[in-house]
């Protein structure tokens, strides 16, 4: 059975991490398959969005602790961390807008995966945290930085240094997740949002993601926004969208 199921819908794909016997822990096979699934979805020009979720009662309960225990040397540990970081960054920088449907535990590498996505919807019964310190290690797939960006230095350090798990209400209050839903509402909400984006102008959608995610100082980010606007401001879709508004009809976007 595949460790990551790919379910293609109209304009978006659902990637379900499917290793429920280990609470979907990210071993090398899962990470490699996840990366391949992402590349496959990206290469399909009809795709606009992605949903990532977990089979069973967890989203992802972390990197696979058995594999971490078997890491032979400090250089191998660093290389493993860089490899995992690159996969998370690949998701963060994807042209596809990603919805992370946090159906259950999102711990360690699981929270790091969720934070690399664009929008997090969390079940009210789920829990998240960075419990690595309880294993004598620290987050290594981007968690120290993405958590800090989401909730600030003090709160990020507390979560990482204590290893505490927090509930959905607290995660939302801290800004780590964007929405909280009843458990059976997480996927319907993610699918409704992904389906909405499937109707939007493709080039503008990609430009929107890249501009919102632009890094650096304000002057640099504004320059990036203007450059992105320059690329799409006179596109066929921009002509079509503005004409459709003025002609009081629905636009037909072509992605050009």
Find the shortest distance in angstroms from Cβ 2 to ligand CO8. 19
Any catalytic annotation for residue 132?
Answer: yes
Can you read off the two tokens belonging to residue 6?
């790919």
First to last CA, the chain: 39
- Which of 127, 138, 122 is CA-nearest to residue 165? 127
Residue 177 or 201: the one with the smaller Cβ distance to ligand CO8 is 177
Position 109 contacts ligand CO8 (CB under 6 A): yes
Instruction: Choose between 81 and 235: whose C-beta lies nearer to ligand CO8.
Output: 81
Task: Give the x-and-dash track for 10-49 against ligand CO8 (CB under 6 A).
Answer: ------------xx-x------------------------
Q: Is 119 exposed, middle or buried (0-12, 13-18, 19+ CB in 10 A)?
A: middle
190 makes contact with ligand CO8 (CB under 6 A) = no
Active-site entry in 29, 132, 215, 247: 132
- Virtual CA dihedral for 189, 195, 199, 202, nearest 10 degrees? 100
- Kindly name the residue from 21, 67, 112, 240 that is annotated as catalytic: 112
Assess 64 for contact with ligand CO8 (CB under 6 A). Answer: yes
Tell me whether residue 169 is one of the annotated catalytic residues. no
Closest CA to 26 of 42, 52, 3, 49: 3
140 binding ligand CO8? (CB under 6 A): yes
Could you tell me the two tokens for 219? 């002057």
């Amino acid at each position: 059975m595949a460790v990551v199921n790919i379910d293609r819908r109209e304009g978006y794909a659902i990637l379900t991490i499917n290793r429920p016997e280990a609470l979907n822990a990210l071993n090398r096979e899962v990470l490699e398959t996840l990366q391949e699934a992402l590349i496959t979805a990206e290469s399909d020009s009809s795709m606009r969005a992605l949903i990532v979720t977990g089979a069973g009662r967890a989203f992802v309960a972390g990197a696979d602790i058995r594999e971490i225990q078997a890491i032979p040397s400090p250089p191998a540990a660093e290389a493993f961390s860089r490899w995992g970081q690159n996969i998370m960054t690949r998701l963060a920088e994807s042209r596809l807008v990603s919805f992370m449907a946090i159906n259950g535990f999102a711990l360690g590498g699981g929270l790091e995966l969720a934070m690399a996505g664009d929008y997090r919807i969390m079940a009210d019964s789920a829990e998240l945290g960075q419990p690595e310190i309880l294993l004598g290690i620290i987050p290594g797939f981007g968690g120290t930085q993405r958590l800090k960006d989401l909730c600030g230095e003090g709160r990020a350090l507390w979560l990482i240094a204590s290893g505490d798990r927090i509930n959905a209400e607290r995660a939302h209050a801290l800004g780590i997740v964007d929405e909280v839903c009843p458990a059976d509402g997480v996927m319907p909400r993610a699918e409704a949002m992904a389906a909405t984006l499937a109707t939007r102008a493709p080039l503008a959608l990609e430009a929107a993601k890249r501009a919102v995610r632009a890094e650096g100082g304000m002057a640099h980010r504004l320059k990036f926004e203007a450059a992105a606007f320059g690329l799409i401001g006179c596109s066929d879709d921009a002509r079509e969208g503005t004409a459709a508004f003025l002609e009081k009809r629905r636009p037909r976007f072509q992605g050009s």
